[in-house]
């Protein structure tokens, strides 16, 4: 089986879980299945170790709508011909945005990480339309769809109406750099709580975390460190709330943190707090666990599925309950010790090698059905 993998995100959007997922999974797929062709212009996937790379840019790169549409139509019309010319038996798209609307001769397998733009359309007005008219039909037409969690699988069945026999759960893993930090150290000193998030979007519940931290900060000497990409529509509300709660220097909002510094932030944290109200998977708690950091986590969506018995759960939509859970996570030494031990065991269940094995298995079944 010759496996094609398509990963061509817009340039300049490195970082975050998408970056982590692609870099680690593509490498693991190639180790698992050497007859692989990667279609990408992503600099960090530019060959090596015998990986065959075909140049392919992102059709979503253009800012002018007519150029974007023309580029996308060209890709839709011509990409399958490239696959056939290269002798590919199956196409794997690690993200919905990579998928072709429909293929005729080369079966397509697509990973759908979450349906967040459809669950929260008011936060994602453009993305929700792209989902409705492009990504959702592509998922329905794909030979198989991979979900990173049972929760996302159920969303695919409920929201998109994808047949259950087409959906396969293949969990992701976590960023291995946190287990092997470099020599860089963060500028943070003293004791702190840590929250690592991909963004400042409201469902990440940073406002709820600030309110919870305000309730307990006089009982503990800790700062709160939040890592995440700012969102112009939503970050001002976070900074305004921080001012109203008079958090001052006790709050640090960081973005663009290099891997080595992020690893050091994990290793230095007294507690990792994950108050998100919606996730399709959730890598950061696993990253924290791999560093031996106790985790307090939201009890919603896929998060309990990922964290298992290695997190202290709370209804994160309730700031008072979240505050008490954080206080328990800081002050109860027996709980902290149990969470550390359980976390280090839990992360052993999530490896890129196992993710790759299961992706190849799904793709082989799709190729056999041609």
Q: What's the whole-model pTM score? A: 0.94
pLDDT band per the 50, 70, 90 thresholds, residue 67: confident
User: Looking at the predicted structure, is the pLDDT value of residue 89 above 70?
Assistant: yes
d(CA 12, CA 276): 26
Q: What is the 3-state secondary structure (H, E, C) of the chain?
A: CCEEEECCCCCCCCCHHHHHHHHHHHHHHHHHCCCEEEECCCHHHCCCCCCEEECCCCCCCCCCHHHHHHHHHHHHHHHHHHHHHCCCCEEEECCHHHCCCCCCCCCEEEECCCCHHHHCCCCCHHHHHHHHHHHHHHHHHCCEEEECCHHHHHHHHHHHCCCHHHEEECCCCCCHHHHCCCCCCCCCCCCEEEEEEEECCHHHCHHHHHHHHHHHCCCCCCEEEEEEECCCCCHHHHHHHHHHCCCHHHEEEECCCCHHHHHHHHHHCCEEEECCCCCCCCCHHHHHHHCCCCEEEECCCCHHHHHCCCCEEECCCCHHHHHHHHHHHHHCHHHHHHHHHHHHHHHHHCCHHHHHHHHHHHHHHHHHCC
Mean pLDDT, to the nearest integer, of 215-231?
96
pLDDT band per the 50, 70, 90 thresholds, residue 345: very high
CB atoms within 10 A of CB 72: 16
pLDDT band per the 50, 70, 90 thresholds, residue 39: very high
Closest CA to 235 of 195, 274, 206, 212: 206
d(CA 341, CA 29): 30
What confidence score (pLDDT) does residue 8 get?
83
Give the class (CATH, top level) of 176-349.
alpha beta
What confidence score (pLDDT) does residue 170 get?
98
pLDDT tens, position by position, 166-187 = 999 999 999 876 655 554 555 5
CB atoms within 10 A of CB 98: 27
What confidence score (pLDDT) does residue 180 get?
54
Asked if the 3-173+351-368 domain carries CATH number 3.40.50.2000, the reply is yes
pLDDT tens, position by position, 185-203 = 555 668 999 999 999 999 9
Mean pLDDT, to the nearest integer, of 55-75?
79
Q: Provide φ and ψ at 260, rounded to 5°.
A: -65, -40
pLDDT band per the 50, 70, 90 thresholds, residue 13: low
How many percent of the chain have pLDDT more than 70?
Answer: 92
d(CA 23, CA 85): 26
Mean pLDDT, to the nearest integer, of 152-175?
97
pLDDT band per the 50, 70, 90 thresholds, residue 11: low
What confidence score (pLDDT) does residue 249 get?
95
What confidence score (pLDDT) does residue 183 get?
47
Q: Could you tell me where in the chain the CATH 3.40.50.2000 domains are found?
A: 3-173+351-368, 176-349
pLDDT tens, position by position, 296-334 = 999 999 999 999 999 999 999 999 999 999 999 999 999
d(CA 237, CA 342): 36
pLDDT band per the 50, 70, 90 thresholds, residue 350: very high
Mean pLDDT, to the nearest integer, of 224-230?
97
pLDDT band per the 50, 70, 90 thresholds, residue 70: confident
Instruction: Tell me the CA distances in angstroms from 168 to 3, 130, 156, one per residue in order.
Output: 18, 23, 11
User: Looking at the predicted structure, is the pLDDT value of residue 20 above 90?
Assistant: no
pLDDT tens, position by position, 269-304 = 999 999 999 999 999 999 999 999 999 999 999 999
Closest CA to 91 of 41, 147, 141: 141
pLDDT band per the 50, 70, 90 thresholds, residue 50: confident
pLDDT tens, position by position, 96-118 = 999 999 999 999 999 999 999 99
């Amino acid at each position: 089986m010759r496996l094609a993998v398509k990963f061509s995100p817009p340039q300049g959007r490195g970082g975050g879980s998408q970056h982590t997922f692609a870099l680690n999974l593509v490498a693991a797929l190639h180790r698992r299945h050497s007859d692989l062709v990667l279609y990408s212009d992503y600099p960090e996937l530019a060959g090596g170790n015998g990986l065959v790379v075909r140049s392919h840019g992102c059709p979503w790169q253009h800012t002018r709508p007519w150029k974007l549409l023309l580029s996308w139509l060209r890709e839709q019309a011509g990409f399958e011909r490239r696959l056939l010319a290269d002798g590919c038996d199956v196409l794997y798209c690690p993200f919905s945005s990579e998928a072709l609307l429909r293929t005729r001769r080369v079966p397509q397998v697509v990973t759908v990480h979450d349906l967040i733009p459809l669950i929260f359309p008011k936060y994602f007005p453009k993305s929700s339309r792209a989902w409705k008219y492009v990504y959702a039909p592509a998922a329905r037409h794909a030979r198989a769809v991979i979900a990173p969690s049972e929760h996302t699988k159920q969303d695919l069945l409920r929201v998109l109406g994808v047949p259950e026999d087409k959906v396969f759960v293949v969990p992701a893993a976590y960023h291995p750099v946190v287990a092997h930090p470099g020599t860089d150290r963060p500028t943070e000193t003293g004791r702190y709580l840590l929250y690592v998030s991909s963004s400042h979007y409201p469902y990440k519940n940073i406002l709820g975390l600030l309110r919870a931290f305000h309730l307990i900060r006089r009982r503990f000497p800790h700062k709160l460190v939040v890592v995440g990409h700012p969102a112009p529509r939503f970050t001002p509300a976070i900074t305004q709330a921080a001012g109203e709660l008079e958090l001052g220097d006790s709050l640090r909002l960081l973005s663009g943190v290099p891997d080595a510094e992020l690893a050091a932030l994990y290793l230095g944290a007294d507690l990792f707090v994950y108050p998100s109200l919606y996730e399709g998977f959730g890598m950061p708690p696993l990253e924290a666990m791999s560093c031996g950091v106790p985790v307090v986590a939201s009890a919603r969506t896929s998060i309990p599925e990922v964290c298992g018995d290695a997190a202290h759960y709370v209804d994160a939509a309730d700031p008072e309950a979240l505050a008490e859970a954080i206080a328990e996570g800081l002050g109860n030494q027996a709980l902290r010790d149990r969470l550390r031990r359980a976390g280090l065991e839990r992360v052993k269940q999530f490896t890129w090698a196992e993710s790759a094995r299961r992706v190849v298995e799904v793709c082989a079944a799709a190729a056999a059905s041609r």
